[in-house]
Structure 1
């Protein structure tokens, strides 16, 4: 599926640097970044669900974990 990605000059520079660091095209760097972000988000959601299922009082623990990630 085709898609147009509109970036600010700063975002384009960041994507260029990312692509250069990976030794890839900007397209491939953008795709990798999207996949990586999705994996982190889904993994975080899985861990949060496990905490809710297994740990009583998980809300306080989950809140502490999220604060330390910032």
Structure 2
């Protein structure tokens, strides 16, 4: 699916420089950034869920440690 990405001149220059550093096209750098962001979001949500489980499972101990 094709799409248009509107960037400021500054954002375009940042993307251009990053693409040059990675020896990739600007399109590839943008595409990979989107994938990395999505993966990080899923991972962060998973970690928050695990933290919630630990907090619930060990609520009594955590309360005692907080005293």
- State the distance in 2 between where 1:20 and 1:42 align: 29
Q: Which runs of 4+ in 1 moved over 3 A?
A: none
- Distance in 2 (CA, whole Å) between partners of 1:35 and 1:14 is 18
Q: Distance in 1 between matches of 2:41 and 2:18?
A: 20
Tell me the equivalent position of 1:26: 26
Aligned length: 57
Q: Indicate yes or no: 2:18 matched with 1:36.
A: no
Gaps of 5+ in 2: 60-67
Q: What CA RMSD, in Å, does the superposition of the two structures yield over aligned residues?
A: 1.2
User: What do residues 6-65 of structure 1 show as CA deviations (whole Å, max 9, x unaligned)?
Assistant: 1100000011011111110000000011111111111111000111122236xxxxxxxx
Structure 1 length-normalised TM: 0.74
Select the structure of larger CA radius of gyration: 2
Instruction: Give the equivalent residue in structure 2 for 1:54.
Output: 54
Give the aligned partner of residue 45 of structure 1: 45
Give the whole-Å Cα distance in 1 for the aligned partners of 2:21 and 2:37: 18
